[in-house]
Amino acid sequence: MEKLRMKLKEMIAELDNADDVLYRLEQLISVYPFNDYEYMISTLLGRNKLSLDEYYELRDEYIARNLYLYIFEISAPRGFGEAWAQGHLKELVPELEKPSKKIDPNYSGDYDFYLDKKIRIEVKASRAVAFQTDEPLYVKALSSDSDEQFDMNFQQVKVRCCDVFVWVAVWRDVIRYWVLNAKEMEINRFFSNGQHRGNVGEGQLHLNRENIGEFGRYEVKPNVLLQAIKDAYSR
């Protein structure tokens, strides 16, 4: 979004009455769907500074940079972590089954998917957002090429309750996946056994700019997730 704003302001600065347009922009009262972006784009179109073809190109570039921005608008943690993330993974790997006591007599709600009648899978999802800011998620959402710090916390991790973990991490423009087994999670130096005082058997792992490269061996493309889950279990 900041790239779009910068581009539009650069074009406005080239107008004859740029100061008047920018002043009005500062005083603008936004009521959906009439906001500052609508004002800048319509002004540039009206002054023939932006052609219709250039507008379409600007629009396509913005969509490409923000393909997954809508995911940051999911405010409820359960709506993101359970409804979206699990649904997304199920679309990519249709072979995954939702567990129940019928297919796993020992099931007690402690993992998310079952595969090949033996592999218990837990899905952990997080979003890359600018660190230490109180802005709404969709405002502080980061693109994959951003230099800003982020902290993705995969929490409520119960390594004794599943065999394989699938991490799903969302940026504005990409979604990345990591697959590792419970032992690999448990012995990882970034994994903390105690998420909260008194929480036995439940931990967390923070993924950030400093340590994300150390998980390269576990990162996989979405089209090989099924085999990656089986390989992690075999390890």
pLDDT at 88 over 80: yes
Whether residue 106 has pLDDT greater than 90: no
How distant is the alpha carbon of residue 188 from its chain centre? 23
Q: Is the pLDDT of residue 77 over 80?
A: no
Quick one: pLDDT at residue 201?
Answer: 66
Cβ 176 vs Cβ 124: under 8 Å: no
Residue that has been written with the tokens 């929490």 in this structure = 155
69-234 CATH: 3.40.1350
Total count of residues recorded for the chain: 235
CA dihedral 49, 67, 80, 188 (to 10 degrees): -120
pLDDT over 80 at 196, yes or no:
no
Name the 3-class secondary structure at 5: helix
Assess whether pLDDT exceeds 60 at residue 198: no
Domain coordinates of the chain in residue numbers? 2-65, 69-234
200 pLDDT tier (thresholds 50, 70, 90): low
Contact 71, 80 (CB under 8 A): yes
Pick from 1-5, 8-12, 112-116: least confident = 1-5
Q: Is 195 exposed, middle or buried (0-12, 13-18, 19+ CB in 10 A)?
A: middle
57-70 CB burial, b ≥16 within 10 A, e <16:
ebeeebeebbeebe
- Inform me whether the pLDDT recorded for 199 exceeds 60: no
Which residues lie below 8 Å from residue 35, measured CB to CB, with a gap of 6+? 28
What sections of the chain are H helices per DSSP?
A: 2-12, 18-27, 36-46, 52-65, 77-78, 85-92, 137-140, 182-187, 225-234
How deeply is 147 buried, as exposed, middle or buried, from its count of CB atoms within 10 A (0-12, 13-18, 19+)?
A: exposed
Q: What is the pTM of this model?
A: 0.81
